[in-house]
């Protein structure tokens, strides 16, 4: 995900906010379990963003696009107006998270996708990702660094985990495509998507970023893979903030078509987001 600048019925067992799981050797340093009444706005841990990124939707603050479900989740719902204007939701964490020397930083979320048929999701682009805070201080994309923890386009059952960095075009991150890994998405149920930045080696070339689905690693990137200490630092040594959004259109998925479903069938629903460190 590149940077430029009505209530669903509750699922069984979701009567209250979800608790992020605990992991041996890690402490939870930040989390949101999206408690609150149905139709309410997310907690003050988030900024509600209203800018777009060469996409077709307009992000809004309306609870028709972005809402607490009342069942311990937050929902991002794309909608199309009678005039053809798409709207959707995007939030960005106010907090930033910096991987510390000798430590591990793990960021994860449990999320599910709407159950519209794949052919009805053309142009729909849900994402859970992190962006270098340097973007807020004048460093352009992709030099600021970006770690995409989960992306899906057009309803195809493939999840993407991608690093963006360095110069454009080309560079060590092969921009604008980045350095992606992919994994099959088994179904539209809740799954846990996570990224771990491991700096315990004490040697930047052996530091590693791993992407996992439901605890199984499917993609890795090391400092040695990039071969550039300064660029690696933008991904693994610098402050990053968290973004959740559901885009419509854009350079990657292309425009929606007449069959693209709006509403809950194409939504993204998130049960919790948590950040851990040792």
**Could you tell me if 3 and 135 are in contact, meaning their C-beta atoms sit under 8 angstroms apart?**
yes
Q: Phi first, then psi: give them for residue 204, nearest 5 degrees.
A: -60, -30
Cis peptide before 142 (omega within 30 of 0): yes
- What percentage of the chain's residues is helix, strand, coil (to nearest 5)? 10, 40, 50
Length of the chain: 278
**Could you tell me if 243 and 129 are in contact, meaning their C-beta atoms sit under 8 angstroms apart?**
yes
The predicted pLDDT at position 54 comes to 79
Which CATH code fits 27-262? 2.60.120.200
- The DSSP secondary-structure symbol of 10 reads P
Rounded CA gap, 23 and 253, in Å? 35
The predicted pLDDT at position 1 comes to 56
Domain ranges of the chain: 27-262
The predicted pLDDT at position 12 comes to 36
pLDDT averaged over 10-residue windows placed end to end, the chain, 278 residues: 41 55 97 95 93 85 95 96 95 98 98 96 98 97 98 98 97 97 97 98 98 98 98 98 96 94 96 98
The predicted pLDDT at position 6 comes to 37
**Could you tell me if 204 and 185 are in contact, meaning their C-beta atoms sit under 8 angstroms apart?**
no
The predicted pLDDT at position 89 comes to 97
Instruction: Give the SS3 label for residue 40.
Output: coil
**Could you tell me if 161 and 217 are in contact, meaning their C-beta atoms sit under 8 angstroms apart?**
no
């Amino acid at each position: 995900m590149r940077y430029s600048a009505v209530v669903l019925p509750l699922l069984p067992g979701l009567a209250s906010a979800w608790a992020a799981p605990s992991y041996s050797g890690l402490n939870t340093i930040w989390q949101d379990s999206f408690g609150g009444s149905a139709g309410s706005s997310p907690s003050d841990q988030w900024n509600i963003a209203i800018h777009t990124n060469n996409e077709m939707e307009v992000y809004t603050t309306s609870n028709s696009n972005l809402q607490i479900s009342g069942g311990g989740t937050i929902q991002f719902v794309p909608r199309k107006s009678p005039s053809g204007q798409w709207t959707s939701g995007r939030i960005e964490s106010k907090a930033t998270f910096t991987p510390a020397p000798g430590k591990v930083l793990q960021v994860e979320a449990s999320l599910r996708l709407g159950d519209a048929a794949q052919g009805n999701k053309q142009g729909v682009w849900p994402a859970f990702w992190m962006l270098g805070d340097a973007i807020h201080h004048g460093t352009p994309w992709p030099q600021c660094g970006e770690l995409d923890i989960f992306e899906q386009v057009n309803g195809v059952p493939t999840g993407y985990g991608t690093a963006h960095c360095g110069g454009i075009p080309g560079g060590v991150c092969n921009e604008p495509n980045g350095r992606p890994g992919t994994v099959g998405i088994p179904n539209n149920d809740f799954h846990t998507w996570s990224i771990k930045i491991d700096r315990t080696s004490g040697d930047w070339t052996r530091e590693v970023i791993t992407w996992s689905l439901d605890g199984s690693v499917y993609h890795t990137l090391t400092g040695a893979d990039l071969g550039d200490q300064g660029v690696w630092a933008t991904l693994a040594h610098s402050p990053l903030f968290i973004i959740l959004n559901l885009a419509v259109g854009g350079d990657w998925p292309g425009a929606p078509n007449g069959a693209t479903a709006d509403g809950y069938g194409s939504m993204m629903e998130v049960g919790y987001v948590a950040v851990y460190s040792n």
